[in-house]
Amino acid sequence: MRGSLTGKILEEHIVEGKLSPGEEVLIRVDQVLTQDATGTMAWLQFEAIGVPKVRVPLVVSYVDHNTLQTDFRNPDDHLFLRTAAAKYGAIFSPPGNGICHQLHLERFASPGTVLLGSDSHTPTAGGVGALAIGVGGSDVAIAMAGMPYGLKVPEVVRIFLTGRLRRPWVMAMDVVLELLRRLTVKGGVGKILEYCGPGVSDLSVTERATIANMGAELGATTSVFPSDERTRAFLEAQGRGDAWRPLKAEEEAEYSDEVRIDLGELQPLVARPHSPDDVVPVRELEGLRIDQVAIGSCTNSSYQNLKAVAAVLRGRRVGCDLAINPGSRQVLYMLAREGDLADIISSGARLLEPACGPCIGMGYAPPSGGVSLRSYNRNFRGRCGTPSAEVYLANPLTCAVSALRGALTDPRGSGMVLHWPEEPKKFPSDAVIFLPPSEDPESVKVMRGPNIRPVPLGKPLEGTIRGEVLLKLGDDVSTDDILPAGAYVLPLRSNVQEISKFTFSRIDPSFPERARKAGGFVVAGRNYGQGSSREHAAIAPMFLGVRAVIAKSFARIHRSNLINWGILPLEFERDEDYEAVGQGDALELREVLKGIEEGQIQAVLADGRHLRLRAQLTERERKLLRAGGLLAYAKEKLT
């Protein structure tokens, strides 16, 4: 990575270790963001560590996921987050302000900074040249407490862009869909995607942010763009010109691999159910009947995107349900001020508040067996709130034109003439409300509703672990599969005992009860834990008695979350050993403490067969597991 933009930023922030791929380094963190679905637990963990004030230059606590207030639980969490931010030194973004990634891009993200966020789409800030990494809530909690972040140095892949997008109908989302088509959801695991080449200058900051956002679906650690004149223009328009600095890779920079994309050759693309990498040209599915369309989310809810959508809808009526969720109050204000909101409303579209909403199954679920077309980043089965629905992903203008027709439509054949909107010279910075931390933190009482429960802790690693294979799964199991989102489950994020009852509920409703009685193991194929950063997908299994997950490979964030909560992540050395294990088998892991030092664990089935399992752990990870997880380790370290 010598000479790369990634390497430059990491070198400025390294605290300990060497920048060699596969080695672990500790890096200094400049900014932290949390959101309410993960943030309540992160702040509870921060409190448990016992540090009186955040020790990071900037911490922002956003409310954007659990904004439905159907009972006391979500508003209680919001009040907890607001008072915790006031007391411990964070900025608070209240519900209705917008989605954390769009807001952070607008108001806080800066070139060359390291941002840690308790959300997998934190890499959105890579659009301005920040090194923005999504992690679990416990990693965020210890970062807020002042400890450096432990990162296994990824490979750096150069994504070399040439040409120009054929706007308006070919959009930034088609760039990342093309990458998903080529590389798959596993293609970015253990890698940082660094964008360069003459095509970069064709992309606005919000277009770059779209690409960086959805790079999370490739499994990438993060994605980063250079900071250039377009970056400066965006920051100056936001009233933050002093945050700009030029940043780019050296001409002779070294990369582990390269992918080249000619932007001028791209066409509108669509991801079919139920994976973001099942990508084909829209024209191949033209005419597919759709029941509903959703436009927005943290991927495609910027001013330019929604102004273009409004132009498509102007003077026309939708032919199916259409909902639009702007990314921020700033975007909504500008659409209202310039008359675009009237075009959206008169078309028959439904306007949702600036929040995550349908993307995480928080309202606007499709009908049973329905087809939903969305400009979002994920289409895992059931994530939308309806397990039998089929969700397709496409760019916002494909979605808008298709909403008018009631069928999937290649917008290039619509006959419409549409001019791509220019970037504003000035954004209204006063349209968004942020609450600063209290000037008298000692007087602030942190408010806790009855649903907010203490944080459970993992158990220190034992020499022998016995249990049952509670569940055997295939490849690409997502954190939505492990612990669903949605309006029924998300309000329980601050109550592990209650939320644990939904663990694997869509796959095997009997799992929670069986796990509580027997304890043991989960077995899976490749890329276990892809998708959301939700650490509850590790906390809940730990609470139920899962001591180890044995898989062919793991997604990065979830693997870290397992370790952070004292669950041992093991990998099969041979495919035949995965085939040999069955659900219900009794399994014993022997000499575990010795095995994690040597990198191999002795595993024996009840019939005497031995399995070869790898324990590829850094010294820091071994310390965490021996202590029972990151929280216990950090508390001991800091006190």
Convert 559-575 to b/e letters by CB count within 10 Å (16 or more is b): bbbbbbbbbbbbbbeee
* Close Cβ partners of 566 (under 8 Å, ≥ 6 residues apart): 457, 458, 459, 460, 461, 542, 624, 625, 628, 629
493 is catalytic: no
How far is 604 from 229, CA to CA, in rounded Å?
A: 60
Amino acid at 160: F
Question: By the 8 A CB rule, do 104 and 128 touch?
Answer: no
Distances, alpha carbon 404 to alpha carbons 315, 320, 348, in Å: 11, 7, 10
631: enclosing H helix or E strand = helix 630-638
**Sign, Cα dihedral of 408, 414, 416, 418:** positive
How far is 590 from 464, CA to CA, in rounded Å?
A: 5
How far is 22 from 583, CA to CA, in rounded Å?
A: 33
Q: At what angle do helices 619-627 and 556-564 cross, to 10 degrees?
A: 40
How far is 57 from 604, CA to CA, in rounded Å?
A: 49
How far is 331 from 322, CA to CA, in rounded Å?
A: 18
Q: Which of 227, 532, 553, 560 is catalytic?
A: 532
Question: By the 8 A CB rule, do 453 and 495 touch?
Answer: yes
Q: Which of 208, 534, 536, 559 is catalytic?
A: 534
374 is catalytic: no
How far is 124 from 213, CA to CA, in rounded Å?
A: 4
Q: Which of 30, 36, 64, 577 is catalytic?
A: 64
Q: Which of 30, 119, 277, 480 is catalytic?
A: 119
Alpha helices in 300-454 (DSSP H): 303-313, 329-337, 340-346, 396-405
Q: Which of 65, 104, 232, 240 is catalytic?
A: 65
Burial of 331 (0-12, 13-18, 19+ CB in 10 A): buried
65 is catalytic: yes
Q: Which of 230, 378, 383, 536 is catalytic?
A: 378
In sequence order, the β-bridge partners of residue 394 are 270
Whether the upstream peptide bond of residue 274 has omega within 30° of 0, thus cis, is: yes
Instruction: Report CA 588 to chain centroid distance, whole Å.
Output: 34
How far is 303 from 157, CA to CA, in rounded Å?
A: 30
Burial of 356 (0-12, 13-18, 19+ CB in 10 A): buried
How far is 164 from 199, CA to CA, in rounded Å?
A: 6
Question: By the 8 A CB rule, do 609 and 597 touch?
Answer: no
443 is catalytic: no
Alpha helices in 99-228 (DSSP H): 100-107, 137-144, 172-183, 205-214
Question: By the 8 A CB rule, do 427 and 237 touch?
Answer: yes
378 is catalytic: yes
* Close Cβ partners of 514 (under 8 Å, ≥ 6 residues apart): 468, 470
Question: By the 8 A CB rule, do 85 and 92 touch?
Answer: yes
Query: Which residue carries 């200094």 as its tokens?
Result: 28
Amino acid at 120: S
Q: What is the 3-state secondary structure (H, E, C) of 199-212?
A: HHHHCCHHHHHHHH
Q: Which of 64, 5, 66 is nearest to 33 (CA)?
A: 64
Q: What amino acid positions are annotated as catalytic residues?
A: 64-65, 119, 378, 532, 534
